[in-house]
Amino acid sequence: MAEVKLFGCWYSPFSRRVEMALKLKGVEYEYIEEDLSNKSHLLLKYNPIHQKVPVLLHNGKPIAESSVIIEYIDETWEGPSILPKDPYERAMARFWVKFIDEKCAVAMWKACSSPGEEGEKAKEEASQLLKFLEEELKGKKFFGGDNIGLVDISANFIGYWFGFAQELKGLELLTKEKYPNFCEWVDEYVNNNFVKENLPLKDKMIEIFKTLA
C-alpha cells in the first residue's frame, strides 16, 4: 500500500497544484483519478465535508483543501521550500494566494461565462485586480523570486487554464500590452521544464473547456 495517495481530477487546477507540490519535494505517490460526476466511496469517506478533490492521504490520514494540503506537504517533506521561511514573506505569499483564488479567479471566470453587462463588469473588475499581480511581479522572474513557490503554483489557474477560456471566448483581458510582466511570467511558467510536465495537454484542455463553458 502506497504511503501517499492523491485523489484528483486531471483538469482541476487545485488538484494539479497539489501534484506540483508533491513533485517539487520528490514525493512518490499513488494517483487516483476521480470521476467528478460519479465520486468514489473512498473520496466521500475521506472528504465527507466537501466531497471534493484534491484529497491527500498520508499514512491513512486524509487532508482536504489544496492550500491546506500544500502547507502540509511543505512542512512534512524535505526539499525545496514551497513557502518562504521568513514569517512576513509567508504572510505575503498566503495573502496573494487568497487574492488569486477569492478575487481574481472569481472575476475572471465571470468575465468568461457571464453574458452581457454582468460579464463586462466582471471583465473591468478582473482588469483592475490583475494590475496588482502585475505590480507584484516587477523585477521578479517568479512570484517566489528566482524559483517557483507557493504563489506561482497557485497562480496556475491564471497562468494556464485562463488562457484557454480567454481564447475560446475571444476575450481580450490578459494581454501583453496591458500586463507585460504578467505575460512574461506566464511564458516563463508554462515553459519551465518542471511545470510543463505537470500541466494537462493543450488539446485535452480545449476539449474540456468546450463542455464546461
Partner 1 sequence: ITRRTIMEVKLLGHFSSPFVQRVKWALKIKGVEYDYCEEDMVNKSPELLKLNPVHKKVPVLIHNGKSMVESLIILEYIDETWKTNPPLLPQDPYQRAMTRFWAKFVEEKFVLVAWEAFTSQGVKHENAVKLASEALEKIEGELKGKKFFGGETIGYLDLVLGWASYNLPAFDKIGPMKILDPLRFPAMDQWINNFRNHPIIKGDIQSEEELLIFWTSFANKIRKN
Binding site for partner 1 (CB under 8 A): 49, 58, 61, 63-65, 67-69, 71-72, 75-76, 87-88, 90-92, 94-95, 98-99, 103, 132
Ramachandran assignment for 54, one of left (phi > 0), alpha (psi -120 to 50 degrees), beta (any other): beta
Q: Which of 118, 124, 131 is nearest to 172 (CA)?
A: 124
CA–CA gap between residue 103 and residue 109 (Å, rounded): 10
Torsion-angle region of 63 (φ positive above 0: left; ψ -120 to 50: alpha; else: beta): beta
State in angstroms the smallest separation of the CB of 108 from partner 1.
16
Q: Shortest Cβ distance from residue 127 to partner 1 (Å)?
A: 14
C-alpha cell at 144: 517566489
In the complex, the smallest distance separating the C-beta of residue 25 from partner 1, rounded to whole angstroms, is: 13
- Residue 57 or 148 having the CB closest to partner 1: 57
Cross-strand bridge partners of residue 61: 58
For partner 1, the closer CB: 79 or 163: 79
Residue 120 CB, shortest distance to partner 1, in Å, is 22
Q: Measured on CA atoms in the order 57, 62, 67, 73, is the torsion positive or negative?
A: negative
- Of the pair 87, 170, the CB lying nearest partner 1 is at 87
52 with 64: CB under 8 angstroms?
yes
Q: Which is nearer to partner 1, 19 or 65 (CB)?
A: 65
- CB-wise, 29 or 99, nearer to partner 1? 99
Considering the complex, what minimum distance in angstroms separates the CB of residue 56 from partner 1? 9
